Structure 1
């Protein structure tokens, strides 16, 4: 039983520039510091590639998750498809709920820049426990809206990093008073 969402934004930069920036685990973690608590790729250069695994500590809808995933497909610098399992410790770790999760990140050139999107999914088990967990997530925790907010916040961060212009510091002058 899937819960899905997708966020997208247009960024004034090339797919290559965006890819280089967003695949740095430091920048990905910084894109949502209240909910991202670290990301590591299991590669020599700590960058994603097809078949590479990763670990991300994060929160979704206020629930801590230990996400272990793998990049199933990468078309550099346009598409990255990932899937994994998020481990949600409940009742102070007394019970751990495992939820399959995944997503597709796309960078598509347009006339206005690059459209970056991240479509994400969570697959709750189709049994009594899974239906109860999905109900709690979508209803009590407002998880679908928070899933969108979580993903959209990442994209807005990246857009702001590429499109913000830092004010220049005043230059010293040789004129004396």
Structure 2
């Protein structure tokens, strides 16, 4: 009876050590992009996408209280700051982001340090950001609207292990891509629905 327990315990310990070794040697990052074709004027797409406290907040049920911290709140510009609470992969994230590389009606970038918690307990602070673009379609049927989103876990033993568990085991990239796609599809429905209605 004792020998099978020792064997099971040894096997479990070996699996745990393997996961720790892989996780610390091969850190993972989140790097996803989603896009949608929107048949609406470029200026209207920009108006909706840049309405952080309105349309952007409403674009995803995972968003909680997006607030522009800069004064004035509009227009979008380099250095504009906003705060957002959201849920990604079951974790609650609170970010304070800053915009950069803003080209009205074309693109903007954002970067933030996001504090993630689970059941109120701190999990990690992740450096993340994105590039939102509105580009002409080669097919001529509106504009290709895309959002590239990335995230880097802390470069510590814990951060590398957490990155591997989150990305390789829990497939956080799929959840991040789905989260981003929901927002773009909302913009598409709002803009094309307003045009058709």
TM range (shorter): 0.7 to 0.9
Q: Is the 8 A contact 2:78 2:101 kept in 1?
A: yes
Instruction: State the Cα distance separating 1:162 from its structure 2 match.
Output: 1.3
Which structure has more helix as a fraction of its residues? 2
Taking the aligned partners of 1:5 and 1:105, their CA distance within structure 2 comes to 12
Counterparts of 1:20-35 in structure 2, within 5 Å, are 20-24=47-51, 25-33=53-61, 35=62
Taking the aligned partners of 2:59 and 2:102, their CA distance within structure 1 comes to 21
**For structure 1, which runs of at least 5 residues remain unmatched after alignment?**
169-177
Instruction: State the Cα distance separating 1:56 from its structure 2 match.
Output: 0.6
Taking the aligned partners of 1:96 and 1:79, their CA distance within structure 2 comes to 31
Instruction: State the Cα distance separating 1:91 from its structure 2 match.
Output: 5.2
Q: Is the 8 A contact 2:57 2:64 kept in 1?
A: yes
Name whichever of 137-146 and 52-61 sits farther off: 137-146
1:59 aligns with 87
Using structure 2 for the length normalisation, give the TM-score: 0.78
Instruction: State the Cα distance separating 1:16 from its structure 2 match.
Output: 1.0
1:141 aligns with 170
1:156 paired with 2:181, answer no
1:175 aligns with none
Distance 1:108 1:66, change over 3 A: same
Instruction: State the Cα distance separating 1:142 from its structure 2 match.
Output: 2.2
Which structure has more strand as a fraction of its residues? 1
Using structure 1 for the length normalisation, give the TM-score: 0.86
2:156 aligns with 127
**For structure 2, which runs of at least 5 residues remain unmatched after alignment?**
1-27
Q: Is the 8 A contact 2:102 2:108 kept in 1?
A: yes
RMSD of Structure 2 on Structure 1 (CA): 1.9
Give 1 or 2 for the bigger CA radius of gyration. 2
Number of residues paired by the alignment?
A: 166
